[in-house]
Amino acid sequence: MATTKREAALAALQSVIAGAYGWKLGPSRRLKLWSDVPSAMRPACFLYEGGQETYIWSESATAKRVMEVKLFIYLNAKDPSITGAALLNDVMDALDGALSISGADFTRGRNTLGGGVHHCRIDGKTLKDPGDLDGDALLIVPVKLILP
């Protein structure tokens, strides 16, 4: 597999996330503050690339590069008849489905985002704030992109 450009990998991830859920805003690659995302514009999704990037070397001369991206997801949980945790669970289920292994990737045992990356997966601890106190639900999902 040829070396994948970082921007191509992020564009592929953004495309998959865009189809995962009915976002009103995003997914955008420019993180915004809560105050800049009104409740009417939620659910909103942002791909934040401020994490770490690691190189993994094996016996081959080409390193695998690991990019850590965080999905910041803002939801409106102000309606008292809706449980914020249920909203978060619905989004997580949608992301699990969108990033599941299927098609030609099934035989590889990894999600290549259509052949653009070595592997893409949710990896790490997810932060969930259901917004019970203020109606502002938050989900932060760690995603690893492994690039050849």
Query: How many other CB atoms are found less than 10 A from the CB of residue 57?
Result: 9
Percent helix, strand, coil in the chain, to 5, is: 25, 30, 45
- The DSSP bridge partners found for residue 47 are 71
DSSP symbol at 40: G
pLDDT-derived band of residue 88, with 50, 70 and 90 as boundaries? very high
- The DSSP bridge partners found for residue 67 are 53, 145
Q: How open is the CA angle 41-18-32, to the nearest 5 degrees?
A: 45
CATH for 19 = 3.30.70.1700
Number of domains in the chain: 1
User: Does residue 17 belong to any structural domain of this protein?
Assistant: yes
User: Does residue 1 belong to any structural domain of this protein?
Assistant: no
Per-residue pLDDT, averaged over 102-130, amounts to: 93
Q: Which two tokens stand for residue 32?
A: 């915004």
Rg, Å, the chain Cα set: 16
User: Does residue 83 belong to any structural domain of this protein?
Assistant: yes
Q: In terms of residue numbers, what domain contains 53?
A: 6-147
The single-letter code of the amino acid at 74 is Y
pLDDT in the model for residue 146: 93
User: Does residue 135 belong to any structural domain of this protein?
Assistant: yes
- pLDDT tens per residue, range 41-70: 999 999 999 878 888 887 777 788 999 999
How far does CA 114 lie from the centroid of its chain? Answer: 16
Q: How many whole angstroms separate alpha carbon 65 and alpha carbon 46? A: 22
- pLDDT tens per residue, range 68-82: 999 999 999 999 999
User: Does residue 64 belong to any structural domain of this protein?
Assistant: yes
Q: By the 8 A CB rule, do 114 and 134 touch?
A: no
Q: Which two tokens stand for residue 123?
A: 């990896």
Q: Which of 127, 137, 132, 131 is nearest to 48 (CA)?
A: 127
